[in-house]
Amino acid sequence: MSKRISVEEAASMIKDGMTVMVGGFLGSGSACKIIEQMVKNQVKDLTIICNDTSFVEYGSGLLVANGCVKKVIASHIGTNPVTGEKMISGEMEVQLIPQGTLAEQIRCGGAGIGGFLTTTGLGTVCEEGKQKITVDGKEYLLEKPIRADVALLGASVCDKFGNLLYKGTSQNFNPLMATAADLVIAEVKEEVETINPECVKTPYLFVDYIVKA
C-alpha cells in the first residue's frame, strides 16, 4: 500500500484544536509546503510543539503569524517577533522549555517512559507547578513525557518503503517527533528506490504518509 498523498490531503488531516509537532530548526527540516496549505485551509486553535517558531513567513512561524495557533510549546521564540507580540498581548499562550528538556520529553513520549529527572530549571520559573524528587540527597524536577496528535516532519530523502534520511542540520527534532505522535506525515524533497540501512534516521514503520514537495 502506497503512503504517498498530496499536500492538500496531508493538510486536510490537521483539524482545529489538534496538537501538532513540527520538526526542524528555524524552518530547516520543517514540512513547509504542508504548513502553507494549512494556512490556506484556515485551521485554527492549534497547539504546536517545536524547537522554535522559525520566522514570520516560514515554517511554524507562518502558522503563528496567520492566527492558526492558540498555544506554542518551544525552546525559543526570538527569531519571530509576532510570537513575542502575541504572548505579551495574551492572544496566544507560550510555554518555554529548555531545549534538552523538550527533546527528552518528546523522546519519553515516543518510548512510553513516564518521565525523567533533571536539575535543569531548578530555582527558575521552569520549576513552577512541577513535582520535585530527591535522590541520594540531590533534588530534581520530574519532567513528564510529551505526545501529539500529529507530527509533521521535513525529510531530505525517502525510499519506496517510507524510510527517511535527513541531510545536514535538517534532522533536528524530526526522528524524536516521529515516535511521539498518533499520526506522522513526512514532507520529502527527493525519492529513491532504497536508502542504505545504516543511513536511515526514521524507519518506515513510524511514517504513516509521505508528501513529495
pTM: 0.94
Contact assessment for residue 40 and residue 7, using Cβ atoms and an 8 Å cutoff: no
Instruction: Band the pLDDT of 119: cuts 50, 70, 90.
Output: very high
- Dihedral angle sign, alpha carbons of residues 203, 204, 210, 212: positive
> Per CATH, is 7-212 categorized as 3.40.1080.10?
yes
The three three-digit cell numbers of residue 125, written as one number: 520559573
Q: What is the pLDDT of residues 153-180, one digit of tens each?
A: 999 999 999 999 999 888 999 999 999 9
Please report the pLDDT score of residue 8 as a whole number.
Answer: 98
pLDDT greater than 70 at residue 208? yes
What stretches of the chain adopt beta strand conformation (E)? 19-22, 46-49, 69-74, 93-96, 116-118, 132-135, 138-143, 148-158, 164-165, 181-191, 209-212
Domain ranges of the chain: 7-212
Q: Can you tell me the distance from the alpha carbon of 8 to that of 13, in angstroms, rounded to the nearest whole number?
A: 9
In this model, does residue 1 exceed pLDDT 90? no
Please give the Cα distance from 45 to 19 (Å, whole number). Answer: 9
Q: Give 52-97 pLDDT, tens digit per residue.
A: 999 999 999 999 999 999 999 999 999 999 999 999 999 999 999 9
141 CB-side CA count, 13 A:
20
pLDDT in tens, 88-97: 999 999 999 9
CA distance between the termini of the chain = 20
- Hunting for cell 524536577 — which residue is that? 141
pLDDT at 213 over 90: no
pLDDT at position 127: 92
pLDDT digits (tens, 9 = 90+) for 3-36: 999 999 999 999 999 999 999 999 999 999 999 9
Asked whether the beta carbons of 74 and 82 are under 8 A apart, the reply is: no
Taking 80 as the threshold, does the pLDDT of residue 196 lie above it? yes
Helix locations, 90-190, DSSP H: 99-111, 174-177
